[in-house]
Amino acid sequence: MVPIHLSLHEPADHDRVNSTLLKKISDVLLRSKRIIFITGAGISRSSGIPDFRSPGGIYHTSKSHKIPGALLGRDVFSAHSMENSNSRSQFYCFIADLKTLADGAQPSPTHHFIDSLGTQGKILRSYTQNIDGLEKKAGLLNQDRYISSEIPSTSRSSKCVELHGNIHSVRCTLCSSKYECTAEILARFHKGDGSKCPECLTRVEQRKMYRKHPISVGMLRPDVLLYEEHNPVGEEVLKQIKQDLALHPDLLIIMGTSLRIPEVKKMVKSFAVSMKVSSGARNILSRDRDPKQSQNPPEIWIRLTTAV
C-alpha cells in the first residue's frame, strides 16, 4: 500500500509534493479502462448534504437535540422507526427535511469527476450508498452517455447503482408499488404523515364493485433502505456485482464512506480480491482512517485534508 497525505490547504511549498502525488493518481486513471467506484455520503458534503458519522453528521446532530422520545443516532434510519406512529412521524419529518435540502443542492466536484470519467468510457460501474439523488443530477444514471468499447453491450445497464434507494421516490408498504415523491406527498411527510397507496385504493374500489371482501390499504413510505431491513433490490445488486466481476475491473476507487455497512464491506472485498489476481489492477481508497490493518488494504490510500 502506498499511503498518500494529500493536502488542499497547505502552504505553497507543499504544492510541488501535491502535484507529484496528483500526477501519480492521474497516471493510474489514464491507464484504467474499467473503473469501479464505491461512494458514500462524504462526496455530497460539499453540496451541503450532511454525512452520517462525522462530528457534524446526521447521527451526531440528532443526539445533540435531546428531545424526549426523539430518534437518536443510527435509530433515525432503523427499520424499527416504522413500527409505531411516533417514531414513524419523526422519520417522515426527517426525510422531508433531507429531501428539501437535496432538492436545492447541486452535484459536488466529486460527482462531476466521476461523470467526466464516465463520458470518457472509463467507468464500468459506480455503486453509491447515497440516497440524495445527486448522482442523477450529475447524469450518472444516464447510461447512454457512458457507452464504452471496452464493455460488452450486454453489460451496458445503468452506470450508477443506488444501493440504498433514494429519497425522491416512495413505495407502498403492502404492494410495493413505486411513485415519485410529489409535492403533495412531501407536504404530508413534513407533517409527519404518510399517504395512502393509489394502487391499493384502486384495488379496494374494484373489489367493492364485485362485492368482494375488503382488503387493507398500504401507506407510501420513502423508498430508502433502512437498517435491519431486507433490501428489495438486493438480488438485482448481487447479479450486477457478479456481472461486473466477470468483466475484470482494473481500478477500484472508494470515496466518501467509512465502510461500516457489512454488505458494502463484502462488496469491496469481492472487487479487491478479484483485482489482486488481475495484472496491473489497483485499489484507491480515499478516507481519513488508515486502512492498513484491513484484510485487503488498498495499494494507494489517499488521506485528503481540506479546510472544510
Whether residue 160 is annotated as binding a ligand: the answer is no
Note the pLDDT of residue 14.
52
Structure letter (DSSP) for residue 35: E
Whether residue 93 is annotated as binding a ligand: the answer is no
What is the CATH class of 1-48+107-164+232-308?
alpha beta
DSSP secondary structure string for all residues of 97-157: HHHHHHHT----HHHHHHHHHHHTT-EEEEEE---S-HHHHTTTT-GGGG--TTS-GGG-S
3-class SS of residue 86: helix
User: For residues 4 and 253, is the Cβ–Cβ distance under 8 A?
Assistant: no
List the chain pLDDT tens, one digit each, 308 residues: 344 444 444 444 555 656 777 787 888 888 889 999 999 999 999 999 987 766 666 665 544 444 446 676 678 888 988 888 999 999 999 999 999 999 999 999 999 999 999 989 999 999 999 999 999 999 888 766 555 545 554 444 578 999 999 999 999 999 999 999 999 999 999 999 999 999 999 999 999 998 898 899 999 999 999 999 999 899 999 999 999 999 999 888 888 888 889 999 999 889 988 877 554 445 555 555 545 545 555 554 554 433 32
Whether residue 197 is annotated as binding a ligand: the answer is yes
Location of each CATH 3.40.50.1220 domain in the chain: 1-48+107-164+232-308
Location of each CATH 3.30.1600.10 domain in the chain: 50-104+165-224
CATH number of 50-104+165-224, picked from 3.30.1600.10, 3.40.50.300, 3.90.1330.10, 3.30.420.40: 3.30.1600.10
Q: Is 213 a catalytic residue?
A: no
φ, ψ (nearest 5 deg) of residue 168: -95, 5
Claim: this prediction has a pTM higher than 0.85: no
Residue tagged active-site, from 164, 213, 230, 248: 164
